[in-house]
Structure 1
Amino acid sequence: MTSQVTNLRAMPVSQYRPSRRGEANRLRKGQSKTHRNYQPAFTGSTPRGMAAKVVARLNSHDWNRNPELAALRRRGYTPWSRLFDNAFKPQPMRVSTRQESREALTALSLTLAANCDYNPDSDYMFEVMLPVEELARRMGVLHQYENGRLAYDVLLHALRVQEELDYLIIHRARDTDSGQFKPMRIFLTEKFFTSRGITVDEIRQWLHKFRQWAIAQGLAESLSLRNERHMLKMARMGIDIERHHSLKNRLRQIKRWVVSPELREEKRRVTEDLGAQIDTLDKKIRSAGKADGRDRHWKAWVRWSTSPEAPLHRVRELERSVEQDHPGLKLRDKEKYYRLLLEKAGAH
């Protein structure tokens, strides 16, 4: 027994190493602990039209009375970092949600609804047109460290909860600037609206009125150009979903669900009318063609601008460039105007 005690005394005693939490508590001695640094709240502006109607509905939503959230809490959350871990088992939670979580979910929902693309002519419906850092800034939860690193854990947790509820579709990819694997494109699903008491007929009616308003205000073309610029920006950043077939099928399913039959019929009728007008114009051009080459540059521009090699945004950029360099040239000398367009396009 004496030898055992001697051996224990001879063993080196490990040096005490305080933990980060213990050191923080020691430095904070006598002061109250900070509960949280940021309180989530929607700080952005709400556009008029359909976005304002959706935001008004979301303001009155009570998360404690949401049956889908209650079922999720009974089952337990699965963080994104543990989604592919087969050994992870979600832990059930109490049904009622804390006030901090409800505030984060409400602020996130309002921010998403206010910055969503409601144009029914877009290829994929209800895409959020803001990066995740800007979403965090408009929620009031964006934190920047001294070294410049940005953190928005409150936003990421709220996004994951709504993704598990099937309210959102999130396409994650690696950011080329920060090197982080984070949400890059966010789409709202039909459950995002129906879970807050918005019916399908209301959504279809709002979308139809939105399209009529855009056409009456002359904004239909600018909305299409904005969507094309967004797609080009995503392609330049390397965020492409062309090879994600299941994601594209799900997004097409949302568009089929939300676009009304009347709107599809109207689009088909307009497309047929435009096709008939193009055919009539083509026939007139062929019948009125003369050997002296009159309107030669205009005809060449029509052929090039309507070809698959000429995207719409490129045609609009060329027209704006020539009009800025030579104001009023189209009225004074139409052939010179189209010749300059062809030269800038490299098709002359």
Structure 2
Amino acid sequence: MNDNTVMLQESDQVLYRQTRRGEANCQRKGQVKIHRNHKPQFTGKIPRGMAAKVMACIKNHDWRQNSDLIALRRNGYTPYSRIFDRSYQPKPLRITARSESREALSALSLTLAANCDYSPYSQYMFEVILPIAEIAQRMGVLHVYNNGRKAYDVLLHALRVLEQLDYVIVHRGRESDSGQNKPMRVFLTENFFTSRGMNVESVRQWLHKYRQWAISAGISVSLRNKYERHQLKMARLGIDIDRHHSLKNRLKSIKRWVVSPELFHEKESIIADLNTSLIAHKKQRISSRHLSEVRYQMAWWAWSASDACTPVIRLNLENAIKTEFPHLLNHATSTEQYYRLLLERAGIPLP
């Protein structure tokens, strides 16, 4: 009996019905089964500065000797679709990952490191400022079907592995097109660097050099503006993390780990000095502007309080000006003209 048939028996008659097993193979009409559409490979441009140093460490990393990945494979993966299923039991896997998995993890790590925000003054550090579809395109796994649907399952699986390794933090949201929860924001953790042989002192030194380079190149302001535009875009799309307090606390702990105390105190002192100078400058502008605007008023008050002026003289002069020019006191801009006329009537030199 053929394996692709099912035997049905009704009384003494035996009937055979063709099953649907292997129907996909029949539709290919003898073509070779496609193992994968794209090979994961970093196709972006290698940036300069800290990103280049991080990428160099990632290229020399051997996933077969990664202790975190070995421990995870011994316990088994948990896909995102089963993360809330309490009855799901991960199945242990062999210690060494396949070459396809290692290629996907390496390509994804390089793409994340190349498009990461390394500014130490950002609110949340090490954020990958790139849409998830663009990340898939940069790592060479974006597949577009004939109907226009985009697929990047290789990226999603590799990103889930990095998330379980605590190398990245993924903030997901509902996509408007498909209605599914997709990764919207990705942040690198401190384990992303330490697992590749980078210690905290090296990362701090690279961040300090990155800040000095941005200042000397004159692009520190543009980098901050770019980050602010990204924050506004995330808030406009409704995927901000203001209400996710545990996520914010985790991101703050990453910043405390990576930002050196010297740099943090330097930032605080610079901000304090800027605030002090700005407040003093504002006070000076306000005081000088205020004095220039009320100089006739101050001169009239000074003369009317002196011995040269009596209350009768002051009242007579004020009543005369109010009778001749009643409109001067109706507007704040005409107040100085009112006091100027008083000084001229009293024969006092204008200041």
Please say whether Structure 1 and Structure 2 have the same fold, judged by a TM-score greater than 0.5. yes
Give, in angstroms, the shift of residue 10 of structure 1: 6.1
Structure 1 distance, partners of 2:290, 2:162, is: 64
Give a deviation string over 1:133-191, Cα, whole Å, max 9, x none.
00001111111112211110000000000000000100000022442210000000000
Between the aligned partners of 1:134 and 1:62, the Cα distance in structure 2 is 26
Corresponding residue number in structure 1 for 2:33: 33
**Aligned-pair distance for 1:32?**
3.5
Moved over 4 A (4+): 27-31, 290-294
Q: Which runs of structure 2 are paired with 1:8-23 in the superposition (5 Å)?
A: 8-9=11-12, 13=15, 15-19=17-21, 22-23=22-23
The gaps in structure 1 that reach 5 residues or longer are 295-348
TM-superposed deviation, 1:17: 3.5
Query: C-alpha offsets along residues 195-248 of structure 1, whole Å, 9 cap, x if unaligned?
Result: 000010000000111111111122111111111100110111110211100000
AA aligned opposite 1:208: H
1:176/1:237 contact within 8 Å kept = no
Residue matched to 2:76: 76
Give 2:18's aligned amino acid.
Answer: Y
Structure 2 counterpart of 1:246: 246
Deviates more, 1:173-182 or 1:45-54: 173-182
Residue in structure 2 matched with residue 48 of structure 1 by the alignment = 48
Identity of aligned residues (%): 61
CA distance in 1, matches of 2:185, 2:161: 16
How many residue pairs match? The answer is 287
Letter paired with 1:18: R
Aligned match of 1:339: none
Q: Distance in 2 between matches of 1:216 and 1:277?
A: 23
Residue 175 of structure 2 corresponds to residue 175 of structure 1: yes
8 Å contact from structure 1 (residues 75, 92) kept in 2? yes
Q: Shift in Å at residue 286 of structure 1? A: 3.1
Query: CA distance change for structure 1 residues 27 and 285 in 2, over 3 Å: closer, same or farther?
Result: closer
Mapping for residues 24-173 of structure 1, pairs under 5 Å:
24-28=24-28, 30-173=30-173
Other structure's SS at 2:171 match: strand
State TM-score, norm by structure 2. 0.78
Find the structure with the greater CA-based Rg.
Answer: 2
Post-superposition offset of 1:287: 3.2
Q: Secondary structure of 1:184's partner? A: strand
Unmatched segments (≥5 aa) in structure 2: 1-7, 295-351
Show the 5 A alignment for 1:328-343. Answer: none
Report the AA paired with residue 203 of structure 2: I
Cα distance between partner residues in 2 of 1:151 and 1:121:
35
- Residue identity matched to 1:269: S
Aligned residue identity for 1:95: I
The one-letter amino acid of 1:16's match is Q
C-alpha RMSD over aligned residues:
2.0
Q: Which amino acid aligns with 2:11?
A: L
